[in-house]
């Protein structure tokens, strides 16, 4: 006879499944399902004017690196694709570094305030999240336009004699992305610095370390998990950024996200778009795996 205990355990296991069923269904329907479709589409042939024909083909995947020269029919390196990939990785990396350079002192400042002031500062950091990303990006465009707030001000003050052209440049993109992703860097950094034992600094000074050594040998190693978490949180969404480059890049300076979008619209090459999406996913997975490795290693060494 099953004891009550066993019965209760079976019951609780069943409940656990039942409780997680909605989540599992959503995960499959909203994540795995569409991904499988994307994967299948990447192996099909593009039809004229969009959509696909159900003929197996590796052209989509080849198209990431190679392209047919339409006039000589030779296979040539698709340098334009690689340029876009390189630009995305480069801009994401620079954004990560910039958000770190701005975010670390900010997080340090907040973490060293009194608890009440700290709450206020954190609250201020989250204020931008109250407004839609699209609207904030348009607002940035409004500031950096040729006849926007920034240029008008600089012209009036006499710092410059003709407007600095920022609209639709990589600089505009960087300004936009640093602004948008800064909170994602500050918050994890704050969480780590908040737990940082300030007595370690005193100990360091007592042992005649200078400021640079304190930063390099004590602060940075201890706050490393926060730095890595913040960097991942900034780097990964940057890679797939769509809205910011779309609005601040002017349809000319694309990043991977826009390039994928292009394939499904005017590019009329859905298989290539699908293959590009999966490539982006793989890049992101590698970045995340690297993160898990580092953090795992951290814990082992205690």
Partner 1 sequence: MKRTLTVVAMLMAGTAAHADGELHLYNWGNYTSPDLVKKFEEKYKVKVTITDFDSNNTALAKVEAGGSGFDLVVPSAGFVKIYADKGLIQELDLSKLPNHKNIDPAWMNVEWDPGRKWSVPWQWGSTGISVNTKDYGGDINTSAIFMDPPKELVGKINVVPEMGDVLALATMYEGGKICDDDPAVMKKVRDALIAAKPKWMAMDYSTVEKMTKHDYSATVDWNGSTLRQRLAVPEIHYGYPKEGYPLWMDNVVLLKDAPNAENAYLFMDYIMEPENAAMLSAFARYANGIAGSEPFMPDDMKGAPELYPPAEFKDKGHFLTVCTGKALEYQTAIWTELQK
Binding residues for partner 1, rule: CB under 8 A, are 48-51, 68, 70-71, 80-81, 83-84, 145-147, 165, 167-168, 250-252, 254, 259, 262, 264-269
51 Cβ neighbours under 8 A, 6+ residues apart: 270
CB of 195 to partner 1, least distance (A): 46
Please name every residue paired with 68 in a beta bridge, in sequence order, or none if there are none. Answer: 75
Is 252 or 300 the residue whose CB approaches partner 1 more closely? 252
Q: What's 112's DSSP letter?
A: T
What counts of helices (H) and strands (E) characterise the chain? 15, 4
CB of 246 to partner 1, least distance (A): 10
CB of 249 to partner 1, least distance (A): 8
CB of 93 to partner 1, least distance (A): 21
Q: Is 42 helix (H, G, I), strand (E, B) or coil?
A: coil
With both helix axes pointing from N to C terminus, report the angle between 256-264 and 79-111 in degrees, rounded to the nearest 10: 130
Is 204 or 249 the residue whose CB approaches partner 1 more closely? 249
Q: Are 231 and 104 in contact (CB under 8 A)?
A: no
Find where tokens 């995305």 sit.
Answer: 88
**String of DSSP letters for 191-240:** HHHHH--THHHHHHHHTT--HHHIIIIIIHHHTHHHHHHHHHHHHHHHHT
Is 92 or 258 the residue whose CB approaches partner 1 more closely? 258
Is 110 or 275 the residue whose CB approaches partner 1 more closely? 275
CB of 257 to partner 1, least distance (A): 14
Please name every residue paired with 53 in a beta bridge, in sequence order, or none if there are none. Answer: 45
Residue 255: name the closest of 37, 85, 20 by CA.
85
Is 81 or 223 the residue whose CB approaches partner 1 more closely? 81
CB of 164 to partner 1, least distance (A): 12
Is 63 or 237 the residue whose CB approaches partner 1 more closely? 63
């Amino acid at each position: 006879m099953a004891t009550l205990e066993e019965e209760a355990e079976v019951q609780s296991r069943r409940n656990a499944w039942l409780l997680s069923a909605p989540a599992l269904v959503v995960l499959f329907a909203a994540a795995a399902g569409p991904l499988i479709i994307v994967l299948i589409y990447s192996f099909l042939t593009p039809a004229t004017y969009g959509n696909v024909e159900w003929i197996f083909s590796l052209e989509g995947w080849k198209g990431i690196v190679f392209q047919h020269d339409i006039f000589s029919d030779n296979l040539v390196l698709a340098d334009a694709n690689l340029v876009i990939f390189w630009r995305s990785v480069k801009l994401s990396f620079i954004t990560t570094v910039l958000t770190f350079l701005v975010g670390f002192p900010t997080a340090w400042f907040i973490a060293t305030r009194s608890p009440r002031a700290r709450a206020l500062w954190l609250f201020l950091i989250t204020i931008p999240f109250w407004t839609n990303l699209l609207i904030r990006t348009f607002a940035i465009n409004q500031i950096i336009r040729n006849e926007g707030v920034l240029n008008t001000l600089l012209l009036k003050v006499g710092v410059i004699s003709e407007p600095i052209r920022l609209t639709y440049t990589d600089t505009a993109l960087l300004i936009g992305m640093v602004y948008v992703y800064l909170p994602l860097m500050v918050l994890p950094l704050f969480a780590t610095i908040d737990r940082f034992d300030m007595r370690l600094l005193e100990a360091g000074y007592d042992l005649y370390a200078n400021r640079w050594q304190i930063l390099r040998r004590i602060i940075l190693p201890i706050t490393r998990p926060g730095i890595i978490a913040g960097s991942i949180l900034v780097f990964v969404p940057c890679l797939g950024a769509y809205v910011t480059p779309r609005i601040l890049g002017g349809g000319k300076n694309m990043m991977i996200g826009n390039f994928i979008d292009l394939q499904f619209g005017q590019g009329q090459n859905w298989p290539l778009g699908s293959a590009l999406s999966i490539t982006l996913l793989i890049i992101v997975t590698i970045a995340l795996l690297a993160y898990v490795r580092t953090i795992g290693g951290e814990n082992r060494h205690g």
